[in-house]
């Protein structure tokens, strides 16, 4: 429905619980224009698990959720429960695209409320190019992230939401006895 109603020249995948650099669109469009292509994708992003105190870089792969594309390349497509990003990406990648290696532009936040479960997200952080921070590296990386995005309150929210979910899970488990 959103694609059908879009009136702009560009379509961009945007997830409201993730973090994008303030000039994300400028950079991605710049890569598209510099390479004379209709779409840009990141091939790596940063993943943040507030509940685990972990940052990771994903393996090298075309990240569907990072797409910025010319509107003319994106068809109206049927409603899909999961995997809609992959459906559109497979159509777009038949064209000339640019793959951008700039994981600092997009931080995927694992909140526990994500569409995909944590096992699926774990697989994104295994393989060529993937890396995970050590316990000692977390605080300095978080400080840098906070200086860019002001995420201290967001981290508290994510941790609070996790505690509420775990409390409900524990309560529902005992109520079934």
Helix count and strand count (H, E) for the chain: 6, 9
Q: What is the pLDDT of residue 75?
A: 74
The residue with tokens 């994903």 is: 58
Phi, psi values for residue 110, rounded to 5°: -90, 100
Q: What is the pLDDT of residue 175?
A: 40
DSSP summary character for residue 45: -
The residue with tokens 């309150």 is: 153
Task: Express each pLDDT in 92-117 by its tens digit.
Answer: 666 788 999 999 999 999 988 887 78
Q: What is the side-by-side strand order in the sheet with 131-132? A: 19-20, 106-109, 46-49, 54-57, 131-132
pTM for the full predicted model: 0.80
């Amino acid at each position: 429905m959103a694609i059908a109603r879009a009136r702009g020249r560009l379509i961009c995948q945007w997830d409201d619980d993730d973090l994008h650099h303030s000039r994300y669109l400028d950079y991605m469009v710049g890569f598209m224009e510099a390479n004379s292509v209709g779409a840009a994708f990141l091939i790596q992003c940063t993943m943040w698990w507030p509940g685990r105190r972990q940052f990771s870089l994903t393996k090298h792969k075309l990240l569907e959720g990072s797409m910025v594309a010319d509107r003319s390349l994106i068809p109206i497509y049927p409603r899909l429960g999961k995997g809609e990003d992959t459906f559109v990406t497979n159509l777009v990648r038949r064209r000339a695209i640019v793959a951008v290696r700039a994981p600092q532009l997009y931080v995927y936040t694992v909140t526990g409320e994500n569409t995909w479960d944590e096992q699926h997200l774990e697989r994104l952080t295994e393989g060529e190019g993937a890396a995970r921070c050590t316990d000692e590296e977390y605080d300095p990386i978080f400080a840098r992230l906070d200086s860019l995005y002001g995420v201290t309150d967001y981290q508290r929210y994510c941790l609070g939401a996790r505690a509420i979910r775990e409390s409900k899970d524990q309560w529902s488990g005992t109520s079934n006895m």
